[in-house]
Amino acid sequence: METTDKKFFITGNSYAIKDQLKELGFKWDAEAKNWYHTNELVASTAQKFVPEGPEKHFIHGNCYPFTEQLKEMECRWDPDSKAWYHLNKEIAEKAQTLVSKAPEIQSNGKAQDSAGAEKHYIPEVPFELNKTLKQMGCNWDAEARCWYHSDPEIGKEANRLVLETREKLQGHEAGPNKSAISAGIENSL
């Protein structure tokens, strides 16, 4: 039986602790430009010891059609918040302008389906909320690659949940000095 190991990435500026990450079995992913481990518990514990890096300027909206253009602009994908970002605010603003002009979703977050019913989109939904959105009666628009609901109140509530979840996922704790990393991981295992 063949199994493929999943990669759990460390985000932030990990340069100061790279030697310790190597000792713990982390590997460098040149394409993602981040360290990763195949054990989720080890990766999540080590993440606490990575100093928070420079501010990430996230790009909101349906970025999927623009993936290649975002890569060309040197935007990066944040696997924790499941969103594209750039460290340079001006470049992030240009990327946001590009994504905001997407024809699938109007600037007010509404569109109409073929029957004329209004769609209230819920963009950039973290995977953790997919089940909750289904339970709320939201539907997936495959063409726009985005969740939506025909009731504006439910759409607003869903967007509120997404924002709360994103804020939780984007928060990083600054940990103690790097000598405590190994001890912290060993204690959590």
27-45, pLDDT tens digit by residue? 999 888 889 999 999 998 8
User: Per 3-state DSSP, what percentage of the chain is helix, strand, and coil (rounded to 5)?
Assistant: 40, 20, 40
Answering whether pTM is above 0.85, one says no
Cα atoms in the Cβ-side hemisphere of radius 13 Å centred on 129: 27
Domain with 43 in it: 1-53
Which residues make Cβ contacts (< 8 Å) with residue 123, sequence separation at least 6? 60, 61, 62, 105, 109, 146, 147, 162
Examine the domain organization and report whether 114 and 92 are in the same domain. no
Same domain assignment for residues 87 and 37: no
Statement to judge: residues 63 and 98 lie in one domain: yes
The answer to whether the CB of 25 falls within 8 A of the CB of 37 is yes
On whether both 10 and 25 belong to a single domain, the answer is yes
113-164: per-residue pLDDT in tens? 445 567 888 878 888 888 998 999 998 887 777 888 888 888 888 888 888 8
Q: What is the domain count for the chain? A: 3
Residue 93 lies in a domain: yes
Are 92 and 131 in a shared domain?
no
Q: If you average pLDDT over every residue of the chain, what do you get?
A: 78
Q: Does residue 185 lie within any of the structural domains?
A: no
The answer to whether residue 181 sits within a structural domain is no
Residues 82 and 134 in one domain: no
Q: Determine contact, residues 56/30, Cβ cutoff 8 Å.
A: no
Q: Tell me if 175 is assigned to some domain.
A: no
* Selected residue with higher pLDDT from 32 and 75: 75
Residue 127 lies in a domain: yes
Final residue of a structural domain among 65, 84, 102: 102
* 64 and 20 in a common domain: no
The answer to whether residues 40 and 65 belong to one domain is no
Among the candidates 102, 137, 162, a domain finishes at 102
Q: Locate the DSSP E strands across the chain.
A: 8-9, 27-29, 34-37, 57-59, 76-78, 83-86, 110-112, 118-122, 139-141, 146-149
